[in-house]
Structures are given as structure tokens and as C-alpha cells.
Amino acid sequence: MWFTPDWSLPEGVAAASTDRVGGASKPPFDGFNLGTHVGDEADAVRLNREALRLGLRLPSEPAWLEQVHGTRVVTLPCGEPIPQADAAYTHTPGQVCTIMTADCLPVLLCHRDGSQVAAAHAGWRGLCDGVLEQTVARFSGEASDLLAWIGPAISAEAFEVGPEIREQFVAQDPKAASAFVARGEKFLANLPQLALQRLFALGLTQVTRSRLCTFSDPENFFSYRRDGRCGRMASLIWIR
């Protein structure tokens, strides 16, 4: 139901990313859906979240966000029961930064000394508008001291967009053009590459990609573009 991201984390920091295998949810949310907003039965989601918490021995309930494809970052702990945000940051042990995805990019970040962590939800809108920049800005110290992991997301081969989306990225950075390949009147967009460009531009040098495609692997991953109505996976990071 989950796996450990393949990247080098400092002592005292843990991370995990879930898939759809197992769980209590029924089709079309089968089986390990963690989203309460997709139409799944509340009891099924509660059981799945409980299994996640117990299975990973999480130090606290994950900080579930109301994600809106924006750029707001919350610092945990915060006083909002369900913050409307697309990224969470903390320097407090025991706080679990969590975001949900079903094609969008999950990006986990960690300071190399293990003192600060964050999780960001980067769909094309949030990525273009600066959610990664806003998240990195929460960290104290130099961006070159940060480690990043880009989790399972829709691959370029499956993510077709209109020319207006390409134009928005290119208007901010001409190098973004290399992440788009023309297909007829539309383009195939490489979200992981766009995220890499943003992170490198910020000064990060150690970025690991999972290279897992949610769209092309229906057995293991939810994909909103492939299925429409579907569940959500989670990516989590915390200081022990």
C-alpha cells in the first residue's frame, strides 16, 4: 500500500508514498484511497487512513490539506483543522507533511541536516504559478542544502495540453519550451522536467525522480486523466 522513496534522507527523517493496492475502498476508488473529497464512502477512507497511520507508525495524524491547485504553503503545526493549501512545511518533529495526488506531481523536500521538511502538490497550474518556489522559500539556509524527490505522476507521453499552457510556462522561462513536444495542434507536457527546471533554477542540486507514471500503470496508481472518478494517493515526509 506504500513504498519508501528511493533517495538519501538524513538520519531522523522518514518519507513514504502510497499506491492503490489493498485498502477498503470499492470501485472506482479501489482500493487504498486516501481522499475524502472524491465521493468514496467515509468509513472506507477512515479505515485506509488508519491503516496508513498504523502501518507507517506515524507520530501523528497526517496534516491533510484542502488542495486547490494554488501556491499557499502552511507551516505545521497550524491552527486550521483542514488548511486550504497545496504545500506543507515543518521544522517540528512529529508533524507529518502530506499531500495527495492522482497525476499531479508530489514533491518532497528535506534539508540535508534533517531539521526541516516539506511536501508540495504541483499540478501544472501550481507549478506554473510558483508552488515550488513558495515552498523552498519556507526553508532557512541555502537552497543548495535541500534534497528533493519527485514522486509518481503523469508522464509526458500521456499529458496532452493546449498551446496556452505552454505559452504560460515559456513566458516565465524560455527554457521551459524544451519540456513540450508538439503533437498536432497540442503539446505533450513533461511535468517532472518542468519541476526539475524550477528546482535547479532555485539552486537545488540534488533532485531524485521516481520516474513512475500514474497514467500508464492502472494496477498500482490512480490517474484522474485516465479514469476521471478515482481515488487519491498520498506522499508524506516527517521528522521523527
Q: For 117-136, write each residue's pLDDT tens digit.
A: 999 999 999 999 999 999 99
Residue 178 located in a structural domain? no
pLDDT category at 90 given cuts 50, 70, 90 is: very high
Percent share of the chain, pLDDT over 90: 98
Element (H, E) at 75: strand 73-76
Q: Which residue has the cell 505522476?
A: 153
CB of 133 closer than 8 Å to CB of 107? no
Supply the CATH number for residue 136's domain: 3.60.140.10
Quote the mean pLDDT of the chain: 97
Can you tell me the mean pLDDT for 208-217?
96
- Would you give the distance in Å from CA 188 to the centre of its chain? 20
Instruction: Domain count for the chain, please give it.
Output: 1
pLDDT value at residue 56 = 97
pLDDT value at residue 178 = 97
pLDDT value at residue 79 = 87
Q: Which residue has the cell 470501485?
A: 27
Buried/exposed code over 150-174 (b: 16+ C-beta within 10 A; e: otherwise): bbbbbbbebbbbeeebbeebbeeee
How many CA atoms within 13 Å lie on the side-chain side of 114? 12
Residue 41 located in a structural domain? yes
Residue 187 located in a structural domain? no
Nearest to 189 by CA among 199, 203, 197, 179: 179
What pTM was computed for the model? 0.96
Residue 227 located in a structural domain? yes
Residue 181 located in a structural domain? no
Q: For 166-210, write each residue's pLDDT tens digit.
A: 999 999 999 999 999 999 999 999 999 999 999 999 999 999 999
Residue 80 located in a structural domain? yes
**Dihedral, CA atoms, 47, 51, 52, 53, nearest 10 degrees?**
100
Amino acid identity, position 64: W
Q: Which residue has the cell 502552511?
A: 74
Beta carbons within 10 angstroms of residue 196's beta carbon: 17
Q: For 138-173, write each residue's pLDDT tens digit.
A: 999 999 999 999 999 999 999 999 999 999 999 999
Percent share of the chain, pLDDT over 70: 100
Can you tell me the mean pLDDT for 225-235?
97
- Measured between alpha carbons, how far is 227 from 223 in angstroms, rounded to an integer? 6
Give the domain extent around 11.
2-155+205-239
Can you tell me the mean pLDDT for 97-107?
98
pLDDT value at residue 59 = 97
Residue 140 located in a structural domain? yes
